[in-house]
Amino acid sequence: MPSFLDSNLEALRTRNPALADRIAGLNPQLPPYLELVPAKNQFAALRYCPPDGGDPRALCSLYDPLREAQRWAENDPVSSAIHLLFLGVGLGYHVRAYLERFGSHARSITLVEYDPHLFRLALTAMDLRRLLASDTCYCFVAEKPEDFPDLLRPLRTGFMVHNFKILHHKPSQQLNPGYYMEVARQIVEAATYDGVNTKTVLDHRHRNQTNVLKNLCAFWRGRMPSEYRDAAKGLPGFVVAAGPSLDRNIEELKRVGNRGLIIAVDTSQNTLARHGIEPHLVCAADPTELNFSHFEKVSDLKNAILAFHPECYFGIARKYPAHRFFFPLVDEQGNFLKYLRDALGDILGEVGSVKRGMNVGQIAFNVAVHLGCDPIVLVGMDFAFPLSGGMTHARDAAVSRTTSAVREDGFTVVGGKEGRASAEAGNLVFVPGYYGDPVPTTVSFKQYIKDLEQNIRDCGREVIDATEGGSRKEGAINRPLREVVDALDPASDITRFWEPFHAPLPPRDPAPLVRELRRGQEVLLNSRRICVKALAHIAKWPELYRGVPPGAQLVQSEWDRLEDLWQEMLRDPLFNVFLDTSVTYLYYRRQQADRPADPSPKAFLECMYAKYQYILTEMYSVLTCFIDLLDEVAREMSSELR
């Protein structure tokens, strides 16, 4: 049997020299549990020899392993652009067979193998040079399952655009079932996490960046995260959400007094107000206008600090023009605010950041961590629904609705709320409950719970779950709220945290910020001019594809010119700084494969015209919107902050 090991290692070294060196350094002698044998058609075959002395088991056909792999590939086809992940490499026959048949659809190919010796055998038995040297091939051997979300991070955006397919090599998985099962779970959960975030970004499109810009006045008046870091170090922090359980133990919060900070999720404000409880901070994050409903009955925030995510609905901060206590929850992800930190460092000083969360409850938890609170007490953080039916939130919450009793299969009906949400129905999933029994929740809530549990593990503080209902949070200590409040130190006093943040903040001159806004406006104006050129360029395409069929060279030339204009439109780094996620949808639309059944140049041009007529028209609209918005905000900053 010929050996391809050296040539495969040479190819692998071009992409992953560390892995190539690791495999080359292995003892060439096979471990006792693997046996390489010739198949009847002279291909290599593989047998597993159980350490307990049982009968050897073939891990591929001993007659024609390649034909066996071809049949396997034929039974699991793909027909559009997709990312392929092979869990288990074996001797590589199934990888080769699948890529020969469906490789043209692969955006990327990921090989995952538990056993380095088995991977070395695959490199010995099969010529994989072309694959291993490809820029789209990723190899992971003996990596920890929990590391795969990070290992696959360069590919995860592509997973959302083009989807992905996990291809299970059953013989490999029979050898190490627990490993491959956990790798698959980690990949799917990471994709679910990305899916929730991506859906949010695409749903909101340019709403988020609009809010960031319209919240600039409140940002400019606020104290930066660096000023708040560890300001309440060692003080108890009560993070109060508006789960249905809040109605059962809300009275206990009255007894907290000045012995702990009450950090309210915006949805809980009405419930707190009805019980005469004034929060010390109110957290707001959601970007939709619906989020304003949590503030409709709140005429005055009084002394509460409004901790707001820059992307939250702009009408909230604007409702309180005389309010003096703002805490912009700047994080590391926003291009525009990163740019401002660099451009206006002399004015803003050290800005700092607060970790982003998937929902406002998690953001409030991150605020407590940022402030240095210890312990952190969760209240009303259900992330689940009552099994017997009831309310989705505490009764006074603006968005609270009713749910029917949940059937065994998870089906429930959620009532509507006039002007806010229509009635809906569907299946829920079950997660471990606060009291041990499974409780129903949504797929999104399940991901929120998982993300919060990771934050609990990472925060280094004692976290007490005093929700007394809903879901269980691994890493938190379940304890009734009454007991938590009873145990508060009578000498504890939040005054030392409170007073410095109610001192007047020296006014900042808005002129440097206005200059940056005008600079961004000029960049977008120039990009809009190029967008007009691109639209004019493709306007002649219908005449080309409707007449005499254009040649491949002409179509390629037309396409290259469009690509040049697209790159010119995006060339200035400030293009993405000032638009941020507003154009994410258009980037996704551009990446999606549009493959006409007819492979001719004429059909390609017709297909691309329809696609880019939409993309460029939408881009022109977005650019116009933000050119006008930057002008509006610049004028507002000039007049209101002097």
Looking at per-residue confidence, does 49 or 379 come out higher?
Answer: 379
Residues 6+ apart with CB under 8 A from 551: 601
Q: What angle do CA 165, 166, 168 make, to 5 degrees?
A: 145
pLDDT at 365: 97
Give the confidence band of 400 by pLDDT, cuts at 50, 70, 90: confident
Looking at per-residue confidence, does 491 or 10 come out higher?
Answer: 10
pLDDT at 423: 66
Integer Cα distance of 162 and 172 in angstroms: 27
Neighbours of 623 (CB within 10 A): 26
Whose CA is closest to 461, among 530, 367, 559, 555? 367
pLDDT at 30: 77
585-593 contacts, C-beta under 8 A, 24 or more apart: 585/202, 585/205, 586/615, 586/618, 586/619, 586/622, 588/160, 588/161, 588/202, 589/614, 589/615, 590/615, 591/158, 591/161, 591/162, 592/81, 592/161, 592/162, 593/80, 593/81, 593/162
**Residue 47 phi/psi, 5° resolution?**
-125, 145
Neighbours of 494 (CB within 10 A): 19
- Assign domain 5-202 to a CATH class: alpha beta
Integer Cα distance of 205 and 582 in angstroms: 5
Rg, C-alpha atoms of the chain: 29
Sign of the C-alpha dihedral computed for residues 443, 444, 449 and 455 taken in this order = positive
DSSP-derived secondary structure letter, 31? P
Query: What's the pLDDT tens digit per position in 138-168?
Result: 999 999 999 999 999 989 878 877 789 999 9
How many residues does the structure list for the chain? 642
Q: Which of 271-275, 386-390, 492-496 has the highest mean pLDDT?
A: 271-275
601-640 vs 584-591: helix crossing angle, rounded to 10: 170
- Assign domain 209-502 to a CATH class: alpha beta
Q: What ranges do the domains of the chain cover?
A: 5-202, 209-502, 511-640
Burial class (CB in 10 A: 0-12, 13-18, 19+), 225: buried
Count of CA atoms in the C-beta half-sphere (13 A) of 177 = 1
Give the confidence band of 640 by pLDDT, cuts at 50, 70, 90: low
Q: Which of 26-30, 167-171, 217-221, 240-244 has the highest mean pLDDT?
A: 240-244
Neighbours of 389 (CB within 10 A): 13
For residue 271, is pLDDT > 70? yes
DSSP-derived secondary structure letter, 404? P
How many angstroms separate the Cα of 485 from the Cα of each of 240, 315, 434, 481, 488? 14, 35, 19, 6, 5
pLDDT at 432: 95
The answer to whether residues 210 and 348 touch, using CB atoms and an 8 Å cutoff, is no
Furthest-apart CA atoms within the chain: distance in Å: 88
**Residue 431 phi/psi, 5° resolution?**
-135, 160
Give the confidence band of 301 by pLDDT, cuts at 50, 70, 90: very high
The mean pLDDT value of the chain amounts to 89
For residue 545, is pLDDT > 80? yes
Task: Based on DSSP, count helices (H) and strands (E) in the chain, helices before strands.
Answer: 28, 21
Query: What's the pLDDT tens digit per position in 559-612?
Result: 999 999 999 999 999 999 999 888 888 888 888 777 777 889 999 999 999 999
Looking at per-residue confidence, does 298 or 507 come out higher?
Answer: 298
Integer Cα distance of 576 and 566 in angstroms: 13
Averaged over 89-113, what is the pLDDT? 91
Give the confidence band of 518 by pLDDT, cuts at 50, 70, 90: very high
Integer Cα distance of 367 and 361 in angstroms: 10
Q: What is the pTM of this model?
A: 0.76
The 3-state DSSP composition of the chain as helix, strand, coil percent (nearest 5) reads 50, 15, 35
Looking at per-residue confidence, does 40 or 635 come out higher?
Answer: 635
Count of CA atoms in the C-beta half-sphere (13 A) of 123 = 28
pLDDT at 102: 92
pLDDT at 28: 83
Strand order in the sheet with 34-38: 34-38, 44-48, 57-58
What pairing do the DSSP bridges indicate for beta strands 429-432 and 424-427? unpaired
In percent, how much of the chain has pLDDT > 70?
96
